[in-house]
Chains A and B, each alone.
Chain A
Amino acid sequence: MFEDLNDLYQQVILDHCKQPRNFHELPSANRSAQGRNPVCGDQLKLFLVLDGDTLRDISFTGSGCCISKASASLLTEHLKGKTRADAEKTFAQVHELVTTGQSAGDVGKLAVFAGVHKYPARVKCAILAWHALMGALKGDAEPVTTESEQD
Chain B
Amino acid sequence: MSSSPDWLALRKDFPILDQKVHGRPLVYLDNAATSQKPRAVIEALVRYYERDNANVHRGLHELSNRATNHFEAARARAAKFINAPSADEIIFTRGTTEGINLVAQTWGMKHLKPGDVILLTEMEHHSNMVPWQMIAERTGARVAYLPVTGDDGLLDLSQLDSLLTPQVKMLALVHISNSMGTVNPVEALCARARKKGITTLVDGAQSAGHLPVDVQAIGCDFFVFSGHKICGPTGIGILWGRQEILNSLPPYQGGGEMILTVGYDRAEFKQSPQRFEAGTPDISGPIGLHAAMDYLDAIGRDKIWKHDQELAGYAYEKLSAFKGIRLFGPKQDRAGLVSFLLQDVHAHDVVTLADRAGVALRGGHHCTQPLMHKLGVESTARASFYFYNTRAEVDVFIEVIGEIRKFFGQ
Contacts and interface: CB of A to CB of B under 8 A. Distances in A.
A85 interface: no
B377 to A, nearest CB: 9
B378 A9 contact: no
Most buried by A among B348, B356, B372, B409: B348
Contacts of B353: 2, 5
B357 A40 contact: no
B403 interface: yes
B349 A41 contact: no
A41 B364 contact: yes
Contacts of B7: none
A109 B378 CA distance: 28
B348 A40 contact: yes
Nearest to B404: A2
A67 B353 CA distance: 13
A40 B362 CA distance: 11
Contacts of A100: none
Name the residue in B352, B357, B369 with the highest tally of chain A Cβ atoms < 10 Å from its Cβ: B352
A121 B351 CA distance: 11
A145 to B, nearest CB: 14
Given A18-B344, A64-B346, A40 B409 contact: no
B128 to A, nearest CB: 18
A14 interface: yes
B408 interface: yes
Contacts of B404: 2
Interface in A2-17: 2, 4-5, 8-9, 14
Interface in A23-38: none
A104 interface: no
A2 B349 contact: no
A119 B355 CA distance: 11
A56 interface: no
Nearest to A122: B352
Most B CB within 10 A of own CB, among A2, A43, A67? A2
**Chain A interface category by residue count:** 20 to 34
Given A2-B357, A9-B407, A119-B352, A41 B400 contact: no
B169 interface: no
Interface string B112-151: 0000000000000000000000000000000000000000
A40 B379 contact: yes
Interface centre among A4, A18, A41, A63 (most CB of B within 10 A): A41
A18 B407 contact: no
A43 B408 CA distance: 22
A41 B407 contact: no
Contacts of A141: none
Interface in A69-114: 69
A125 interface: yes
Interface string B348-376: 11001100110000011100010010000
Given A2-B403, A65-B346, A14 B408 contact: yes
Given A9-B407, A40-B379, 14 more contacts: A1-B357, A1-B400, A2-B407, A5-B352, A5-B407, A39-B364, A41-B364, A42-B378, A42-B379, A63-B346, A65-B347, A66-B346, A122-B348, A122-B352
13 contacts: A5-B353, A5-B356, A5-B407, A9-B349, A14-B408, A14-B409, A18-B344, A18-B409, A40-B364, A41-B369, A41-B378, A66-B345, A66-B346
Interface of A: 1-2, 4-5, 8-9, 14, 18, 39-43, 63-67, 69, 119, 121-122, 125
- Across the A-B interface, the 8 shortest Cβ-Cβ residue pairs: A65-B346, A65-B348, A41-B365, A1-B403, A41-B378, A66-B349, A40-B364, A65-B349
